Amino acid sequence: MVDSISRITSALESARELTLDAAAVASSRLGETSYHRYSQKITPEGLRSLLSSRNAREVRDGMKRVASLMASDDPNVDLELYFADVVKNIGSSTDIKDKRLVAVYLLRFAERQPSLALLAVNSIQKSLADPDSQTRALALKMLSDIKIASLYPIVLHSVKKAVTDSAPEVRSAVCFACLKLFREQRDSYADDIYPLLKGLLADSDPAVVSSALVLLKEAFPQHLELLHGHFRRYCEILPQLTQWSQAYLIDLLIDYCKTYVARPVLTDASDQSQSTVLPEVLNPLPYAKFNVSIDPDLNLFLNSITKMLYSPNSAVIISISKALFELSTPTALRDSKTADVLARLISSPGLANDQGAILQCILVYCTADPTTFSPFLKKFFLFPSDDTDTAVYKLKIIAALVSELNIKQIVSELKYYITVDKRSRVVQEALNALAVCGQFSQSLSLHITKWLLDGLENPLSPSAMNSYVSVVRFLIQENPSQHLGAMIQLAKTLQTRNNLSGNAKAGIIWLFGEFATTNFSVCPDLLRVFLPRFSYEAKETRLQIVLFAAKILSCEHDLMINKNKSSEGIHDIAESRIGQMAQSIFYLAKFDDDFDIRDRARLFHSLFDKERFEIASLLLQAPKPPSVTSYSFNTPHALNTDLLAKMGLDHDMEEYLTCLPWSEEDVVDKSSTLRTPCDVKDYNRLKTSFSSASFFHGDDDRHSTRGKSENAKTMTDTSHRVFTSAQGRKYQLQSLDEFFSDLPTTERKNGRKAQVQEESDEESGDSSQESFESDEYGSSESSDNEQTDEETDSDHEEDNLNKA
């Protein structure tokens, strides 16, 4: 009795535990938190027993628990203790999902326990011969993911054996295994990987070609000669490749075309005798109207990528636009609808992370031909949700698209951004774009200068105030004689505004020093104002005051010499009021705590004290470059690193958009014979499985035996189509047409139908009996027909046998 009660109690307890475990597993489908709690409750012995179980479900449950604990990164659980229990499931488990979980665990802890990881190599190598292709590919991935130096020769040996595998996923895994080897041991295995890559590029499967292109792009980007025999085939199968491989291939083919394909030739439409090759990027075209002569292979490449402009991957579209920008004329780029696609991508909410790269490409394209993106000006207006980098690139594009047709709209939009936006980088870039607008006309320059001076009266941050002053300096420096009123207002600002930053004051004082050569009369009074408070100004302001004193002293000397038209010794600096103020500034600067200010003061004092007035004039009155970066890139120059640096691009995009120059024809062979298609490796013939399509495919022997007798052909085909099963039984394989050809093709005629009349009981009985006999056996005529049909069927069988 007691034993039975204890048995019942243990059974109920086991059922309770199973119910709780099942509930936890079911609830884990709704979220990871519940499964993590479920995994934390298990003891180390229980987890080890699950991993060592012979039940596949328990092994998978144990691996799920390990993966859950790995994802949680719980410091209280040491998962390295289960390394041997987890890794042994590589060979014992037959489930591919369990092996994938083991691969994740092995990738994380293999470097921490290299000795135990090496023990698992034997099981991984056995999986390389597994009948399942996914298992073989996973084994090769696990083997290459173990970053142990002593294992690299084994990985290389396994790669060389798997490179001819019949499964395309295994050959794709070979590509990535070679890439990992190259990253770890670049110089040691480059010579071994190169011939493997050469064979993988000739693969007939697009998935393998996609992986091989990744290896070529990252490991051997300079070996473009590998693309010779595959150029035309790759242009045809480009839509079948993976999306990232498409972008890699387009970038590789851009460099290939510039190296091994003939350069397009432009011919003047008005004078056919005038022709020239396509200029480098951003160089102006020599003819207003021209005809383009293009190589057929280059035309094939451009046509193939133009059809892929609406790819869902933004990297592919960027590569296509780069190819059209570098390999064709601006007219072809405009007609290809590339600008429409790029403008559409900007406003796509799903590509927020790629907007920066797209905008940088558009900025480069706008410098070559602003008319390409002029119809999409409103696409580049700022949104409140734009981040700082996106807003800055949009403002740079707006500055590049400024023209007489849209300048009023752009000016009003920029004013709004400067007033509303509080980000310093955005305000500074909007002010720079406003400075570009001021270059179009004198009236607009005066209007913008006045608006900026009014803005200086408002409370501004130091960075915004410096940007305001920089743009005002740039606009006044362009045409100083027209901005006398602005200079007077700036002088009042210096005297009345006590909250100006040191950089802002330094910028305004520098501008007065440059303005001294145009209108000298307003400058000495500013030096008189700053002389008493020289020691209280910021370091930047003190440095510019010293420079300003030297400039106006040099200008005064030149004015007095020109006025008196006498020798230079007539003008005495010691008796001049400006000279006395300048000497006072130099004297105060000699005791400054900044060594740069002291050195400048000694230099200028020495020049004027020793009467080196010509040197002082050349040094101080030389024309200065503009203080704001100009976005007018209409002057002829190639798209080099210096120009891209002026645009403020990211380092990666700057390197990506740097154009490779066209190679000269006398240096590199550019004949079309280089691109003669080479042999393609088809590994489908190595497959051991068969199907009806593969069995009957390629049976061309029947055409060669037409002259033979029918019996000989029948015996040959019959022996060819005999299949022996594993039990030793032989079967003859037939197609569906041959199988259904044995059925009779003639329609069976219906027997005669007798009409029954109810006249009397005897007659009805006789008639019913007669109808029954006629329906069951048919008339003598029908029996004769059946005999004829049987003879016809036997004839058909003989004909079908002969045809077979």
pLDDT at 624: 75
Note whether residue 41 is domain-resident: yes
Amino acid identity of 707? G
pLDDT of residue 37: 53
- The answer to whether 214 and 177 have CB atoms below 8 angstroms apart is no
For the chain, how many structural domains are there in total?
2
Tell which of 68, 99, 119 closes a domain: 119
Confidence of residue 303 (pLDDT cuts 50, 70, 90): very high
Q: What percentage of the chain reaches a pLDDT higher than 90?
A: 33
Dihedral sign from CA coordinates of 48, 52, 54, 60: positive
DSSP H/E element including 292: strand 290-293
Determine the structural domain holding residue 738 and report its residue range.
692-743+767-803
CA–CA gap between residue 85 and residue 75 (Å, rounded): 20
> What contacts 226, CB < 8 A, 6 or more positions away?
197, 198, 201, 216, 220
What's the pLDDT at 719?
46
Phi and psi at residue 458, in whole multiples of 5°?
-85, 155
Q: What is the pLDDT of residue 188?
A: 87
Could you tell me if 230 and 219 are in contact, meaning their C-beta atoms sit under 8 angstroms apart? no
Domain for residue 784, yes or no?
yes
pLDDT at 91: 72
pLDDT of 466 over the 70 cut: yes
Is residue 90 assigned to a domain?
Answer: yes
Instruction: For 589, list phi and psi in degrees, rounded to 5.
Output: -70, -20
Average pLDDT over residues 378-385: 92
Q: Is residue 58 part of a domain?
A: yes
Task: Report the percentage of the chain scoring pLDDT > 70.
Answer: 76
Mean pLDDT, all residues of the chain? 80
Alpha-carbon span 516 to 555, nearest angstrom: 7
Helices (H), 29-120: 32-40, 44-51, 56-72, 83-87, 89-92, 96-109, 114-119
What distance in Å separates the CA atoms of residue 690 and residue 110, rounded to the nearest whole number?
A: 40
Ramachandran angles phi, psi of 242, nearest 5°: -70, 160
pLDDT per position as a tens digit, 176-185: 999 999 999 8
CA angle, 483 then 486 then 489, to 5°: 155
Q: Cα–Cα distances in Å, from 604 out to 48, 475, 597, 665?
A: 85, 29, 11, 57
Domain stops at, among 57, 89, 119 = 119
SS (H, E, C) 492-549: HHHHHCCCCCHHHHHHHHHHHHHHCCCCHHHCHHHHHHHCCCHHHCCHHHHHHHHHHH
Instruction: State residue 618's pLDDT score.
Output: 84
Residue 703 has a pLDDT of: 43
Is the per-residue pLDDT at 171 higher than 80?
A: yes
* Inside any domain, residue 203: no
In a domain, 106, yes or no: yes
Residue 77 has pLDDT above 70, yes or no: yes
The pLDDT of residue 677 is 93
Q: Which of 627, 656, 638 is nearest to 367 (CA)?
A: 638
How far apart CA 763 and CA 27 sit, in angstroms, is 81
pLDDT bucket at 35, cuts 50 / 70 / 90 = very low
pLDDT of 685 higher than 80: no
Does residue 448 carry a pLDDT above 80? yes
Amino acid at residue number 383: F
- Does residue 755 register a pLDDT over 90? no
Average pLDDT over residues 512-526: 84
* Chain segment 227-260, per-residue pLDDT in tens: 999 999 999 999 999 999 999 999 999 999 999 9
Whether 529 is covered by a domain: the verdict is: no
What band does 503 get if pLDDT is binned at 50, 70 and 90? confident
Domain-terminating residue out of 82, 99, 119 = 119
Quick one: pLDDT at residue 500? 83
Residue 427 within a domain = no
